[in-house]
Every structure is written in C-alpha cells, then in structure tokens.
A and B are shown apart, each in its own frame.
Chain A
Amino acid sequence: MERLKALHKNREAMLVLLIIASVMAMSIGMPRFLKLGNFANIFADSSILIMVALGQFLVILTGGIDLSIGSMIAFCGMLGALINMNYPGLSPIWCVVAGALTGAGLGLFNGVLVAYGKIPAIIVTLGTMGIFRGFTYVLSKGQWVTAHEMTEGFTNIPHGTLFGIPNIILFAILTSLAIYYFIQFTRTGRELYAIGGNKAAAVLVGIKEERLQLLIFTICGLISGIAGVLWAARYAAAVNEMATGFELMTVAACVLGGVSISGGSGLVGGVVLGALFMGLLSNSLTMIKNMAFYQMFMQGMVVIIAMVFNELMARNSNKTVLNRRLK
C-alpha cells in the first residue's frame, strides 16, 4: 500500500513502469516486438495523440473539454491534402501552415462561444464536432484524397528525418517542450491552473477567465490543425471519417496521465506518458492475432481503471491528512 501511494505521488514513474511492463509482456509472447524499428513506430504512432492530448490538457486544466478535436483534425487534414492535390507545385510547408491557421480559427470559434457566449464547453464542442465534420464533407464533396493524388513532398512531411529522428516525433517533442514551458514558467500558465483550481478566487485577483478560454481553445485548435495535416500525410490518405472519436483518446490520455477532469491540476509529463501508453496499447493489440477487436474495449477499460485508481488514492491521502490533523 505504501508503495502504491508513493507511485500515486509520482504519476510519471508509475506510467514509465506500466509502459516497461507492457513492453516486456509483449516481448515474451512476440520476439519481433522488441525490434528497434517497432519502437520508433510506436512513438511515431503516438506522436499525433501526444500533440492533441496536450491541447486537450490545456482545455481540461481550465475546467473545460474539447470534443471537436477529431473533427478539427479531419477538416484541417482534408484542407491540407486538397491544397496539395490542387497545387502540387506549392511547398508542402504551406499545407501545414494552412492547417495550423485554419485549426486556430476553428478553435477560436469554440473559444468565443465558450468565453463570451457563456455556453458550457461540452455543449459548444459537441455542436462544433458535428459542424466541423460537416464542413469536411462539404469541402471534399464527399471524395477522398488518395495516396497517388498527393505529392511525395507532402507524404514526406511526417516521414522525413532530421538528425535521424522522424519529423513527426520532432513535432511531438517540440509541442511537449513548448507547452511545458508555457504552463510551468509563464504567468498565463499559472493563471490557467488558478482559474481551473478555483474560479472565484482567481477572479478576485484580477484574472480574466474569458481571455484564457479564448487563448487555450485557439491553441487546442492550432495543434489539432497541424495534427490533421500530419495525419493525412502519414497515412497518405485524407478520408472524411478520419480521426472520428479521437477526442476521446485525448481525454483518456489526460485522465491516465493524472489530469483532474474538474480542472486545476495535471502535468505535461503525465499527459505525454499517458498518450504514449495509449499508443502502445493500440499498437500491440493490432499486432496480436485476433486481438484487434479488443482495441476499443481495452482503451475503455484503461480509462476506468485509471479513474478508480485516482479515486481510491485520493480517498487514501485524505484519510492520512485527517489522521495527521487529529494527532
């Protein structure tokens, strides 16, 4: 029990252990799992999830939630792919930039409704989840953009390497570092924790909730936009249904990483490791024969188990506080 508590205190260490344990379990059953190439693959597969889970983390930190992430990924991915198809001469960098700006615009739309419309985030983003997905169909006229319609430059955005590291992993690392710096060292980051932890107290020290909401929904949209283009390029296909339900994976990664769903607490390291674990889970399940069908089941189970664990440990630590005070 004592050791469990220590683990709860250090969520990151717990997740690292969990990841190592899963890898070992997989390797015993399947020696080819241990190949270095596969690890890079798992990391690369988890990269997009890491990025958008961090966007989701910022929103949850303030007590909100963004359910439109999957739809923003689809719209921006489709947009990037269409630009590449219609203007093959254009540098693919511009596809990423277009995706990022469009995503930021969509996020801003969410932010305005939440901050100034005073509509709960879950309702706003439930609505825009449908709207943005609908935009995607309108934009593509229901058509796909397939691999042979994309230029090599485009599909190389995620696969290309810098110092031997695939770009997509670099994107994830850069996003993690940027958000880490943002919430750990800037005053805006501190204000996010404050508003999520106790809105009334934060307002009393002059923190403006509306501005923060606008900002973080825009950031979440921006990340989703970049992620969308990376998604289309990585799978060399822009499908209208892409990333359906992906927002739930991001919530799962946050919960697993120790982010309080009511806002005010959570760390970047936890979210990154939580996303990595979710990625590992789906990757290993698809590699085992007949286990692919269990993927969603397992993802759901992990979320429930993580929540129960959080709850039990929280109760426990409350008790120790109580005992200490009574002494």
Chain B
Amino acid sequence: MDTKPILELKGISKFFPGIKALDEINFKARCGEVHALIGENGAGKSTLIKVVTGVHQPTSGSIILDGKEIHFDTVQDAQAAGISAIHQEASMFSELSVAENIFMGHHLKKGNGFSPLNWKEMYKRTQELLDKLELDIAPDEIVKNLSVAQRHMVEIAKALSIDAQVIIMDEPTSALSLNEVEELYKIIRQLKAENKAIVFISHKFEEIFEICDYFTVMRDGQYVGEGIIADSSINSIVEMMVGRSFDKMYPKVDAKIGEPVLEAQNLSRSGFFRDISFTLHEGEILGFFGLVGAGRSEVMRAIFGIDKLDYGTIKLWGKETVITDAKTAMHQKIAYIPEDRQSQGAILKMNISENITLALLDEMCKFGVIQKKKEKRISERFYRKMEVRSAGLHVDVDTLSGGNQQKVVLAKWLATEPRILILDEPTKGVDVGTKAKVHEFVSQLASQGLAVILVSSELPEILGMSDRVVVMHEGIKTAEFARDEADSEVIIKAAVSEVEYC
C-alpha cells in the first residue's frame, strides 16, 4: 500500500449557525486504496465531503492535495484539482442526454474563446467511458429514461471524465439492488487497479468489509480514529462509532404495556407501501426501522390522513375508524411530528406562542375569535415543559437553534394532549444533548400511557428506545421483533432483504 497520501485533511472545522458541524477532523486518502468514512447519521460525513469538494469552505484547517496546501472556492476548483464526488441523491439534469450530463461544467470546445462546442468529440469520449465501465447505455439517451442504478453509473463515468484522482462515493448503494451493487464493486475494483483514491461512505458493514481497505470513524462532527479494515472487527468499529454507553443515551423506562390502541390491517397505497399490518399498545414505543425510501413515513402520513389509503383498515381502541384528513386524526387524539421540521414542522415567521397553539385553534377560539388569555396560558405551560430556550414567547421561531425549533414543534403537538404520538426521525440533525433529552421525554410519555410510534433510521435509537420493532423494506413489512429478540444484525438483515423472512 502506498503510504504517502494524495489527499490529506488537517484539523478541518466547519461552523454553521447553531451547530459545530465539524471539529478538527483529520483524514488521509491514499492512491489505490478504498477508504471507508464511517459514522452515524449526523456525524458530519456529508459535511466533510462538501468541504473537500468545494461546496462549503472550512472555517479552519487545511486541505493538502499531492503535498500542496490548496483552497477550493467552488466545486469547479475541486474538480479541476481532480476531486470528484458522487452524491447520495444523484444530482443530474434529467432532461439532458448522458453525454451532456457528463461534460456539464467542463465542455470541450473546438478551439479557444468563443469557438463552438465539440459535441462529436464529447459523444465519442462518453462512449469510451461507458465502454470502459461496461455499461449498456447510449451516450445520447436522455437521463430521465435511465434507472436509478444507471444514473449512479453515469455519475461515476462523469467522475472519470474529469480524470479525477480522488473519487468520493456518498452512500452509493443505498438506492441499488443487490446485483447492481455487485456491478458497482466491479467498477470500484477497476478504479483501484488504476491507482485512484476512493472514499466510500456507507452504513452497511458487509459492504465496508467487502470492498474497503482502510477506515476513518467520525462521531458528532469529531474525528474518533482510523485503522486497517483487515485488522478490525465490526464490534470494534461500532464501539468507535457509538462511543458512549447505551444506557445514558437511551433512558428507556419500562412501561406497563396496556390495551391495543391502534390496529392497522393490510394498509396499502399503490407505489408506496402494501399490506402493512401492526398493532400499537398503550404505553408502548413501537420502532419503525428501514432504509431511506422504505416507505415508513408514507405509512405514517396515511395513518394521519394526509395521504389516501388505497386499501386497508385502521382500528382505534378496537373501533374501525376512517381517517380522511389531518383534522379527523387530531380529533382521534393522534399527533404526527414530521421528519423535516424546517419544511413541515415549525412556521418560522410566526412566534413561539403562535406556533405552540396552532394545532389547538379549535379549542382556543370562541365564535372564531382567539382567546388571548387562554392562548397565553397554554403556550406558557408547554414552553416551560419543553424547556425551550429563547428570549420569550414572542420571539419568532426562525431565530431559534435547530434543537429549540424541534422543541417548539414537540410542544405544539403535546399541547393537543395526544394519546397516540407518531415521531418521524425526531432526532435527525439534532445535537447530542438535545437528542438525549428528546429520548428521555419520549420514554417518560410512554410510561404515562401514551402509545408512541418511533420512525428512525438510526439503529442505536431504535434498539435503545423501542419495545417492539417493525422493519420495512421497499414498501413491505419484512419483520417484527420484540425488544429482547432485536439486535442490529437481524434488523439490518430484514431491512435489506427483498423478501419477507420472518
């Protein structure tokens, strides 16, 4: 193995409003090596990649490429230097052809200055690239006609077209089927043989152990450690990833599990999920695990009446109930806290008090007029209960930090005094302190008899918090585990398996 790194990051830090996203990160990528970048969601991997590819500029620290310290102002700078990234969600121009996509931003011209573009040459080179990758795609095919996997392959071809020395792949397999993953491995091995440096980001350990040579672990924006894959075990890496005792982070209190409150039978919505059945009990935290796109949020949206069900029945407290819209769901004492609080949770231009009482307007109004005293009383109570930190109740929500915005959204829904609480990725993008507080709070609510559905992509959260776990894969339920049967291995297996196996 070549010991001299082609790309080296030294003490990279990046601050965003309210968050220290990266804190003194060190990282080395060597030629002919596949380097796994490992960490939980929110550990800062994607931010680090954005710094390396010129999307973000580091607040401090240095990037050293081929022995020289460099600075990228734009993505083009990074590409020109030979660093190319394939992002989690393929970022392509869907109405343009494969060749046009591949040469976007570095078109070939017939001459200098204002001379016309040399399409003939670009199509020729595209064909060469596609041949090299053994892809059966025509260079003039419009990208929107390609499958997700094919698009990823085109992204890789694009990375090669700029003669990249460092190729970064951000969860390239998350949207691929097993066969397509094999294809990808073949290409990665080929690139490795050509002495390229590859940075591979993945959550799946089997992939990391299959294809990677070296690893670096990040946690909460900090560098934790590195090592050679062949000399490491899954357990040792997981320990570095998690790095804290489970008990403190997930203060699950054993609650008395009561009567069933929600029974879902064969819920189906074409194109999103089918035949989803499960039962939720009083005092229970029911975890919903799956990879991105497994259809978990879609099931929750349908239960809450935002999207329509094509088929299936919902029983609430033993009585069959048709939920046609969010209002009906709210009347049935269901609360749904969506995943993306920026776009679906808080109303940023309104103040804290107005946000907290928004789901309670029915109760707060007399003849359509808001009763300010009642509003003040309710909002103050839940503001205190959630320990929102702000200059007061009349501060606009857009001036709060992410964690405090999340608390306001929680306060809004708790104010409705729900009996069924659906939490969709409640700790995504939230700092560790708030995370633990949210967990403690959820556990407390369950122990008071609330039935909770916890949708999460973070396995430790699911394992630490749930009484039972439902696992989904591509729109179907593949498994259900009781707390004592659930471990990371069986859950991951169920989350990636194509068939029901339980």
Contact = CB atoms under 8 A, between A and B. Distances in A.
Interface of A: 185-188, 190-191, 193-194, 197-198, 200-206, 260, 264-265, 321-322, 325-326
B344 A206 contact: no
B121 to A, nearest CB: 43
Nearest to A200: B344
A198 B17 contact: no
B349 A264 contact: yes
B336 A187 contact: no
Contacts of A190: 354, 358, 361, 370
B345 to A, nearest CB: 6
B369 interface: yes
A51 B354 CA distance: 27
Given A187-B368, A187-B370, A322-B17, A197 B347 contact: yes
Contacts of A188: 368
Contacts of B96: none
Contacts of A325: 17-18, 401
Contacts of B365: 186-187
Contacts of B18: 325
Contacts of A186: 365, 368-370
A267 to B, nearest CB: 12
B326 A197 contact: no
B326 A206 contact: yes
B175 interface: no
B358 A194 contact: yes
7 contacts: A191-B361, A198-B348, A201-B345, A201-B346, A205-B361, A206-B325, A322-B17
B399 interface: yes
Interface string B303-344: 010100000000000000000011101100000101000011
Nearest to A191: B361
Nearest to B19: A325
Contact of B326 (A198, A204, A322, A326): A204
Contacts of A264: 347, 349-350
A186 B365 CA distance: 8
Contacts of A204: 304, 306, 326, 336, 338, 344
Contact of B17 (A185, A203, A326): A326
Contact of B350 (A187, A193, A200, A322): A193
Nearest to A317: B399
The B interface, classified by DSSP as helix, strand, loop or mixed, is mixed
Nearest to B364: A187
A87 to B, nearest CB: 38
A198 B346 contact: yes
Given A200-B343, A204-B326, 13 more contacts: A186-B369, A187-B364, A187-B368, A188-B368, A190-B354, A191-B361, A197-B347, A203-B306, A205-B326, A206-B327, A264-B350, A321-B399, A322-B17
Interface residues of B, number: 33
A282 B134 CA distance: 71
A206 B347 contact: no
Contacts, number: 81
Contacts of A198: 343-344, 346-349
A326 B330 CA distance: 38
B17 A321 contact: yes
B361 A203 contact: no
Contact of A185 (B306, B329, B345, B370): B370
Nearest to A321: B399
A16 to B, nearest CB: 23
Contacts of A200: 338, 343-344
Given A204-B336, A204-B338, A326 B15 contact: yes
Nearest to B375: A190
A194 B350 contact: yes
B55 interface: no
Contacts of B364: 187
B368 A194 contact: no
Residue with the highest number of chain A CB atoms closer than 10 Å, among B15, B364, B399: B399
B176 interface: no
A197 B330 contact: no
Contact of A201 (B15, B344, B368, B399): B344
Contacts of B17: 321-322, 325-326
A185 B349 contact: no
Interface string B268-283: 0000000000000000
A261 to B, nearest CB: 13
Nearest to A184: B370
Given A187-B361, A190-B361, A191-B361, A205 B330 contact: yes
A123 B343 CA distance: 25
Contacts of A326: 15, 17
Contacts of A191: 361
A200 B364 CA distance: 22
B6 interface: no
Nearest to B372: A185
A7 to B, nearest CB: 18
B92 interface: no
Interface string B352-391: 0010001101001100111010000000000000000000
B370 A197 contact: no
A198 B359 CA distance: 14
A193 B354 CA distance: 10
Nearest to B358: A205
A265 B397 CA distance: 13
A191 B358 CA distance: 8
Residue with the highest number of chain B CB atoms closer than 10 Å, among A190, A198, A205, A265: A205
A190 B401 CA distance: 24
Nearest to B329: A206
Nearest 5 pairs of A and B residues by beta carbon: A206-B327, A197-B347, A205-B359, A206-B326, A200-B344
Contacts of B304: 204
Nearest to A205: B359
Contacts of B358: 190, 194, 201-202, 205
A193 B353 CA distance: 14
Nearest to A324: B399
A155 to B, nearest CB: 38
Given A205-B358, A325-B17, A197 B348 contact: yes
Contacts of B412: 205
A185 B350 contact: no
Residue with the highest number of chain B CB atoms closer than 10 Å, among A193, A203, A206, A260: A206
A325 B401 CA distance: 8
Contacts of B344: 198, 200-201, 204
Nearest to A263: B349
A206 B326 CA distance: 5
Contacts of B359: 205-206
Interface in B1-46: 15, 17-18
Contacts of B399: 321
Nearest to A325: B18
B60 to A, nearest CB: 13
A193 B361 CA distance: 13
Contacts of A321: 17, 399
